[in-house]
């Protein structure tokens, strides 16, 4: 039993933090919003060069074959910079699905290419127009189509750094890849949304802390007042008790049982609630400035809003936790429930 990250994982997270922090600054957000775009070719090239798009791709498909925990660390850093590019959807969800279905697919040979995924739970698809292909669902099968083989309608979102599309398509125009693991795609997407939520939340708190140290009212920095402190402390508490859930969910996702699904759902709810609390506290602490377009706090609020409701609503995820709670044993020996069951099974074998 060890709940710590390995040295390699810590270094990996550090690399992601530095790269994304340097290439996705408030200045970059401003420029992209002015251009009405969400892609920065230089940044994407750096992301690709560092191998972030290959982390979860199976080795037989040319990837690194690492685990969800490794990718979740990248997703957390992506949240911290409100990353506009579809790194998480493409490299965290869609490409691994394609890699599992068709490891030799030529699309996977181009690490710069993104793949979009239309999950039945989501009404829209991010960056579908620029994706090399879109994965689509019908009767449990995955179909693959290029953007010019489907009908895309832009769907305006309040998040100025996301580009969304509704997709209409005919199975006759798409390549049938056979039955696909849509549940795993959902689990991964929900997990990485949770990880992004941690980053969004921490950035919102950090921005508010910086502001509260500088902004003076009644002759003192507003951060010296307890009313301000307590908003931010409460948000930090929410983050601290979401993070271990996200980490455990990432480590356990491969078990594919009711406990693992429940934990992913818990991670999604807890991390995005932390992000909701933190982003709203951040806007409040920034005062009227926080309500202005000029201060970046709103970007984090909007991304939080988007991620909270996509990849399964809070009600959807709560139902999955309820399924675990009301059908499986609960209690202090059930934190890592399948462990306890394994031990009981071993004892029964010994006694038999």
Partner 1 sequence: MDLSYTPEQQAFRAEVRAWLEAHVPAEPLEHFDATRGGFEAHREWERTLKSGDWGMVTWPKEYGGRGLDLIEWLIFEEEYYRAGAPGRVNQNGIFLLGPTLIEFGTPEQKQRFLPPMASGEEIWAQAWSEPQAGSDLAGVRATAVRDGDEYVLNGHKIWSSRAVFADWAFGLFREPGTERHKGMSLIFFPLDAPGVTVNAIRKINGHVGFAEIFLEDVRVPAFNRLGDEGQGWHICMATAGFERGLMLRSPARYQVAAAALAGLWQDHKQDADPVLEADVVRAFMNADAYALSIYQTASRLMAGAKIGPEASTNKIFWSELDIHLHQTALSILGPKAELVVQPGEHDWLDDYIFALAGPIYAGSNEIQRNIIAERMLGLPR
Q: Summarize as ranges the residues that interact with partner 1 (CB under 8 A).
A: 1-6, 69, 205, 209, 212-213, 220-221, 223-224, 226, 228-230, 232-234, 236-237, 240-245, 247-248, 251-252, 263, 266, 269-270, 318, 321-322, 325-326, 329-336, 339, 342-343, 346-347
Q: Compute the distance between CA of residue 307 and CA of residue 190 in angstroms, rounded to an integer.
A: 9
Minimum distance of partner 1 from residue 297's CB (angstroms): 16
Cα-to-chain-centroid distance, residue 58:
20
Query: Could you tell me the smallest distance in angstroms from the CB atom of residue 254 to partner 1?
Result: 11
Residue pair 295/286 in contact (Cβ under 8 Å)? The answer is yes
Question: Residue 243 and residue 245: Cα distance in Å, rounded?
Answer: 5
Q: What is the phi/psi pair of residue 56, to 5°?
A: -95, -5
For partner 1, the closer of residues 108 and 271 by Cβ is: 271
DSSP state of 294: T
Comparing CB distances to partner 1, the nearer of 103 and 314 is: 314
What is the secondary structure of 199-257 as a DSSP string? Answer: HHHHHHHHHHHHHHHH-EETTEEGGGSHHHHHHHHHHHHHHHTTHHHHHHHHHHGGG-S
Strands 115-117 and 133-138: parallel
Alpha-carbon distance 301 to 282, whole Å?
9
Tally the residues of the chain.
Answer: 352
What is the Cα–Cα distance from 48 to 328, expressed in whole angstroms?
A: 42
Minimum CB distance to partner 1 smaller for 208 or for 295:
208
**Assigned token pair, 72:** 């979740």
> What minimum distance in Å lies between the beta carbon of 328 and partner 1?
10
What is the smallest separation between the CB atom of 257 and partner 1, expressed in angstroms? 13
Q: Which is nearer to partner 1, 124 or 228 (CB)?
A: 228
* Smallest distance from partner 1 to CB 118, Å: 29
Supply the minimum distance, in Å, between the C-beta of residue 207 and partner 1.
Answer: 12
The single-letter DSSP state of residue 82 is T
Residue with Cβ nearer partner 1 (84 or 223): 223
Q: Give 15 or 328: the residue with its C-beta nearer to partner 1.
A: 328
Find out whether 97 and 177 touch, Cβ atoms under 8 Å.
Answer: no
CB of 280 to partner 1, least distance (A): 17
Residues 233 and 113: beta-carbon distance below 8 Å? no
Between 4 and 156, whose beta carbon lies closer to partner 1? 4
């Amino acid at each position: 039993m060890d709940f710590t990250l390995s040295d390699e994982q810590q270094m990996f997270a550090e690399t992601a933090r530095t790269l994304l922090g340097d290439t996705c600054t408030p200045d970059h957000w401003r420029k992209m919003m002015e251009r009405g775009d969400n892609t920065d070719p230089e940044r994407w090239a750096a992301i690709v060069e560092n191998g972030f798009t290959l982390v979860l791709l199976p080795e037989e498909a040319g990837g690194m074959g690492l685990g969800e925990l490794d990718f979740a660390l990248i997703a957390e850093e992506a949240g911290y910079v409100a990353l506009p590019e579809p790194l998480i959807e493409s490299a965290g969800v869609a490409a691994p699905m394609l890699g599992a279905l068709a490891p030799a697919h030529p699309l996977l040979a181009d690490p710069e290419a993104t793949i979009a995924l239309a999950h039945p739970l989501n009404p829209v698809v991010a960056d579908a127009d620029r994706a090399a292909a879109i994965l689509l669902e019908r009767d449990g099968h995955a179909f693959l189509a290029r953007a010019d083989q489907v009908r895309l309608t832009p769907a305006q979102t309040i998040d100025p750094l996301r580009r969304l599309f509704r997709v209409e398509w005919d199975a006759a125009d798409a390549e049938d890849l056979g039955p696909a693991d849509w549940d795993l795609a959902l689990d991964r997407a929900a997990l990485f949304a949770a990880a992004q939520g941690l980053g969004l939340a921490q950035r919102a708190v950090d921005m508010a802390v910086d502001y509260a140290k500088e902004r003076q009212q009644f002759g003192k920095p507003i951060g010296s007042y307890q009313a301000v402190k307590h908003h931010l402390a409460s948000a930090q508490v929410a983050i601290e008790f979401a993070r271990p859930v996200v980490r455990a969910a990432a480590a356990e996702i491969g078990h594919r049982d009711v406990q693992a699904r429940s934990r992913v759902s818990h991670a999604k709810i807890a991390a995005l609630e932390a992000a909701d609390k933190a982003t709203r506290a951040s806007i409040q602490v920034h005062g009227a400035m926080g309500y202005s377009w000029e201060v970046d706090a709103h970007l984090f609020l909007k991304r939080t809003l988007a991620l909270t409701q996509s990849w399964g609503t809070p009600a959807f995820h709560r139902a999955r936790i309820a399924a675990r709670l009301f059908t499986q044993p609960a209690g202090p020996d059930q934190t890592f429930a399948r462990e306890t069951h394994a031990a009981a099974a071993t004892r029964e074998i010994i006694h038999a």
